[in-house]
Amino acid sequence: MTAIVSAENLTVAYDDFLALDAVSIDVAPGESFGLVGESGSGKSTLLRAVAGLSPVASGRIMLDGKPLDAKYRDKAFYRQVQMVFQDPYGSLHPRQTVDRLLQEPLAVHGIADAEKRILRALDEVGLGSSFRFRYSHQLSGGQRQRIAIARALIIEPQIMLLDEPTSALDASVQAEVLNLLEQVRRDRKLTYIMVSHDLGVVTHMCERLAVMKGGKVVERLSSADLVAGRLKEDYTRNLMVASKGFVRAASMA
């Protein structure tokens, strides 16, 4: 397998605290790769390190077989890799219209025919052109997240980094956004790296996943293995049990 994105012994340190401790992952082209863990496990840090948003202390990140600089990312990188953040209430500029929000990446990358692309991007995420001149406070959470996805898709990246894209949304809206993400991945043959604390969501979206704890990867397995319960680590099993919901008998013990 030739990986499109890989991390080798990646370490991210904040002073003495190791947020990531020698983590390695490989993501194949066209694959959807999940990162699962509790808060503080380093899953978001890993994703942000790939995007160049975390201070990398050692190790390297490869894109298409070429090592990336520890800090600096050039425009070509962001043309290829885009990110969707967790909180749609915080990741859209409150004083810019949807039109302005979607124009920004086009302007940054010097892409022409903005008009056509904005309309197509809105259409692709299931919002009509009537949403074009609204502000983000006039949109619901699910609609905002669709705009965030449109903003990432508009420059036609190959790789999408998804940091808990649905955890701020209602269950019913989550289903819509997950379906949208699956559909654009199929249509555009994208590679996803997706962070979530919800095993249900990750196994639904991803073929393979890595379970993280305390800045380390404790287990790598396929979604099929996870569903069938072929696990090696107790920690993964705990997450499995927790995701099945509250059971009174167990809690009384």
Residues that bind another protein (CB under 8 A): 38-39, 141, 170-176, 178-179, 182-183, 197-201, 203-205, 226-227, 238-248, 250-252
Kindly state the smallest distance separating residue 227's Cβ from another protein, in Å: 5
- Distance in Å, CB of 193 to another protein, minimum: 18
- Judged by beta carbon, residue 78 or residue 89, the one nearer another protein is 89
Shorter beta-carbon distance to another protein: residue 2 or 251: 251
**Per-state percent for the chain, helix, strand, coil, to nearest 5:** 40, 25, 35
Q: Which is nearer to another protein, 17 or 246 (CB)?
A: 246
Compute the least distance from the CB of residue 247 to another protein, in Å: 7
* Minimum CB distance to another protein smaller for 77 or for 135: 135
Shortest spacing between CB 170 and another protein, in angstroms: 4
